[in-house]
Chain A
Amino acid sequence: MDLALAPETLARWQFGITTVYHFLFVPLTISLAALTAGLQTAWVRTGKEKYLKATKFWGKLFLINIAMGVVTGIVQEFQFGMNWSDYSRFVGDIFGAPLAFEALIAFFFESTFIGLWIFGWDKLPQKIHLACIWMVSIGTILSAYFILAANSWMQHPVGYRINEERGRAELTDFWLVLTQNTALTQFFHTMTAAFLVGGAFMAGISAFHLARRKHVPVMRSSLRVGLVTVAVAGLMTAVSGDLLGKVMYEQQPMKMAAAEALWDGEAPAPFSVFAYGDVDKGHNKVAVEIPGLLSFLAHSDFDSYVPGINDVNEQLQEEHGPGDYRPNIPVAYWGFRWMIGFGMASLTIGMIGLWLTRRKFLLPRALRTGEDEVPNLVLFRSKALSPRLGRWYWLIALWTMAFPLIANSWGWIFTEMGRQPWVVYGVLRTRDAVSPGVSQGEVLISMGVFTLLYAVLAVIEVRLLLKYVKAGPPELTEADLNPPTKIGGDDRDADRPMAFSY
């Protein structure tokens, strides 16, 4: 069969499309849930109206986003059985459990408390209502943990044995599956990267309003929250990325060699800045490198040996029989670079922003601004940037808002495609995992349907986000400022229209 239309290829494309799309919403949902919860906490604790306005504004964008995350997540839960039935049969004993845990523990949490939060503004006392958004946030994080534990098992299978009679892998140590270092580092890295997304999103939209001097008190606070989040999450993403990289050098040397287009093992091994190579012949034609850095990244030692693609390929051939065990090298190489490049660019822009808008004790008195003023952007000690340069900063913050999202997508594309040809590393090949009973035509139909539907929904979602971003925070009403004291809502004025940020 033509390889481009082989069931495996089609099923992979569909999985790639639906998963990358789903993951556009996931990191933003995770981070915005927590950031919104933080802002609402600030409102409850200080009683400052700007925090309530901020909660409503970011909460609305969060809701528009989570709706998409939830519905595209249903596909993920079904898709293993639909398109990867042999995978499901082989690993269900292990892989199914974290998925069931995720549904039973995290999804119920998330979806029940989000309903309470959306409709609870006039039904729940202030603190209980606040607790609901925190529950949502906890739900999103738990959900991430379980699914990442499942994915980590595909990256590095542990706590199992092969049952020859049943022809499948069986769980022997669930605790190990949940706590192996792959799961922990991957969780750490994914979480920090998610907050980088939310921070940049917040900073970018705040910059948009501040550049136009609109909604200043809310946006000034939001900018600060966004920039601090970018800086902290960005640095932690770098740290966690380094940790995860070291784990991967140990567990999947092929993936990391591909990430560096390092064809033959070297000691010390260089870090590649740019490479253009020939996959068939297995070497680079052009290579710009930093000597020794790769050895350091892999093993914290500038002189250590790092095996190359050809070495690992030979080793895998000895272990698993003849075949090509190399992933798509250009995708792994460039995916790795886009991930780091876009993520770190965003961190840099955030750090610059944090310095430009620094707080008063670092600023001369004349340049300090009040809570309802647009902050002065101050590069050097005593002079604010000219309005034109200042505007540039706001624009850059706005237009690079999606950089971490691009980095997240490439990170996943890299880690999943870098694992190929395995679906469970060293245990099950991707080509042996597809549904044998599902025809080419059926996959083409579903892929077409999902792609079309997702494209239409993307347009609708983005336009809706734009509408609410431009509109800015809502004006507060009497009801907003007088939350009920009883669960179920106060009895006064029983016919009052419902208040909710739906």
Chain B
Amino acid sequence: MELHNVWFVLIAVLWIGYFFLEGFDFGIGVLTKLLARDRTERRVLINTIGPVWDGNEVWLLTAGGATFAAFPEWYATLFSGFYLPLLLILVCLIIRGVAFEYRHKREEERWQTNWEHAIFWTSLLPAFLWGVAFGNIVRGVKIDENKEYVGGLVDLLNPYALLGGLVTLALFTFHGAVFAALKTLGDIRTRARAMAVKLGLFALVPALGFLLWTQASRGDGKSLVALVVAVLALTGAVGAVKAGREGWSFGLSGVTIATAVAMLFLALFPNVMPSTLDGDWSLTVTNASSSPYTLKIMTWCAAIAAPLVMLYQGWTYWVFRKRIGTQHIADAH
């Protein structure tokens, strides 16, 4: 396989990793309002992701950095073209990171509730916006012959992309609820399960619609396989959490996210950002990629570093494998 194709796959893997991992911590953020009943329960939810959310977010930074290095033209067109939505995502990620780290550092009720509002909104908005962004990437946007995005903000708010946003939001919230059921104890765990079932069923409808739309407009055999797996996995995840098999359910909701994202990348290939103005102006794996030498160095780096990262990140989850309940929350913190 040529290196720019390898890097197309690796970028897909980075985004899958990002959505799989930050997906559930976005979900947990949304659930602090939907599921938690009081401050202690919110604290329990936040603590389930406390040690890991920062590491999860690095998948995004790596996806960004890798796109810059492997597909500079893609990075340039995408980031300058989606300027204002990305600004909104950045603002959310800034506030969200500070919110997780600062919320417990004062005992005043107002301080904590303010940060809790922040956590909810700054989890919900990016969860939605990433779907909109990917919807637009797959659908194609107005790119001119200079590889510049020439559309406006309104062009990004089309039905297909908005549906994509709804899908990521719903899937991530479901994924988060399953994670909550997997990581908590007692009453909140029971409610997390029940809510996961509802959220999963709710996510099924837009997800099916969005993926079928994608398949109908630009799918092929491979993407159809991904679609089928994604839908089956989602159904399985709902069934598993209903049956109380939280580990299985979490694995399957992860598979759902992974295959859904994989399907989008399959539908995209060999483009990385299609132009709706003229097919010749589309950014592709060849006209957007770096030189073979750079890609070779990057491949070496990824081949050595990526398995290590997965190893020690995986170890983190093992260290914090114990479930958390309200009894673990000290009163005054």
**Are A and B bound to each other?**
yes
Interface residue ranges, A against B (CB under 8 Å): 63-64, 67-68, 70-75, 77-78, 80-83, 85-86, 88-89, 91-97, 99-105, 107-108, 111-116, 118-120, 123-124, 163, 168, 170-172, 174, 435-438, 442, 445-446, 449, 453, 457, 460, 464, 467-468, 487-489, 494-498, 500, 502
B64→A78 contact, CB < 8 A: yes
Stretch in contact with the other chain, from B218-226, B240-248, B263-271, B291-299: B291-299
Cβ of B328 < 8 Å from any Cβ of A? Answer: yes
B305→A104 contact, CB < 8 A: yes
The chain A residue sitting closest to B306, CB to CB, is A104
Stretch in contact with the other chain, from B171-179, B195-203, B204-212, B310-318: B310-318
Task: List the 8 closest A-B pairs by CB distance, nearest first.
Answer: A92-B72, A81-B79, A96-B69, A96-B68, A115-B51, A67-B101, A85-B76, A85-B80
The chain B residue sitting closest to A120, CB to CB, is B319
Q: Could you say which of B61, B102, B106, B302 contacts A74, with CB atoms under 8 Å apart?
A: B61
Cβ of B77 < 8 Å from any Cβ of A? Answer: yes
A107→B328 contact, CB < 8 A: no
The chain B residue sitting closest to A446, CB to CB, is B87
Cβ of B290 < 8 Å from any Cβ of A? Answer: yes
B83→A438 contact, CB < 8 A: yes
A115→B72 contact, CB < 8 A: no
A464→B55 contact, CB < 8 A: no
Known contacts being A457-B98, A464-B102, is A94 close to B87, with CB within 8 Å? no
Q: Beyond the given A71-B95, A467-B105, could you list 4 further A-B residue pairs with CB under 8 A, ordered by the A residue number?
A: A107-B61, A172-B293, A487-B319, A488-B318
Shortest distance from the beta carbon of B153 to any chain A beta carbon, whole Å: 9
CA distance A70 to B94 in the complex (A): 8
The chain B residue sitting closest to A437, CB to CB, is B148
A70→B68 contact, CB < 8 A: no
Mostly, the A contact residues are helix
The chain A residue sitting closest to B100, CB to CB, is A67
Cβ of B149 < 8 Å from any Cβ of A? Answer: yes
| Inter-chain contacts of A112 with B (CB < 8 A) | 52, 54-55, 58, 309, 312-313, 316
A71→B94 contact, CB < 8 A: yes
Cβ of B41 < 8 Å from any Cβ of A? Answer: no
Number of A-B residue pairs with CB-CB distance less than 8 Å in the complex they form: 248
Shortest distance from the beta carbon of A143 to any chain B beta carbon, whole Å: 11
Q: Could you say which of B93, B291, B302 contacts A71, with CB atoms under 8 Å apart?
A: B93
Shortest distance from the beta carbon of A488 to any chain B beta carbon, whole Å: 6
B80→A438 contact, CB < 8 A: yes
The chain B residue sitting closest to A60, CB to CB, is B105
| Inter-chain contacts of A82 with B (CB < 8 A) | 79-80, 83, 86-87
Known contacts being A495-B328, A498-B329, is A460 close to B293, with CB within 8 Å? no
Cβ of B321 < 8 Å from any Cβ of A? Answer: yes
B68→A80 contact, CB < 8 A: yes
Q: Could you say which of B55, B68, B70 contacts A95, with CB atoms under 8 Å apart?
A: B68
Shortest distance from the beta carbon of A159 to any chain B beta carbon, whole Å: 10
A114→B54 contact, CB < 8 A: yes
| Residue in A95, A124, A460, A502 whose Cβ sees the most chain B Cβ within 10 Å | A502
Known contacts being A81-B79, A497-B330, is A103 close to B148, with CB within 8 Å? no
Q: Mark B54-71, 1 if CB is under 8 A from A, else 0.
A: 110110111011111111
Shortest distance from the beta carbon of B45 to any chain A beta carbon, whole Å: 14
List 11 A-B pairs, Cβ < 8 Å.
Answer: A71-B98, A82-B79, A85-B77, A93-B294, A101-B301, A112-B316, A119-B47, A438-B83, A442-B83, A494-B322, A502-B50
Shortest distance from the beta carbon of A75 to any chain B beta carbon, whole Å: 6
CA distance A91 to B306 in the complex (A): 25
Q: Could you say which of B65, B101, B294, B305 contacts A77, with CB atoms under 8 Å apart?
A: B65
B328→A496 contact, CB < 8 A: yes
B294→A97 contact, CB < 8 A: yes
CA distance A108 to B72 in the complex (A): 22
B75→A92 contact, CB < 8 A: yes
| Residue in B54, B309, B329 whose Cβ sees the most chain A Cβ within 10 Å | B54
A96→B97 contact, CB < 8 A: no
Known contacts being A74-B93, A93-B72, A111-B58, is A445 close to B51, with CB within 8 Å? no
| Inter-chain contacts of B52 with A (CB < 8 A) | 112, 115
A81→B80 contact, CB < 8 A: yes
B54→A96 contact, CB < 8 A: no
A170→B90 contact, CB < 8 A: no
Known contacts being A82-B86, A96-B65, A103-B65, is A502 close to B297, with CB within 8 Å? no
Shortest distance from the beta carbon of A7 to any chain B beta carbon, whole Å: 11
The chain B residue sitting closest to A116, CB to CB, is B316
| Inter-chain contacts of A68 with B (CB < 8 A) | 98
| Residue in B77, B94, B318, B324 whose Cβ sees the most chain A Cβ within 10 Å | B94
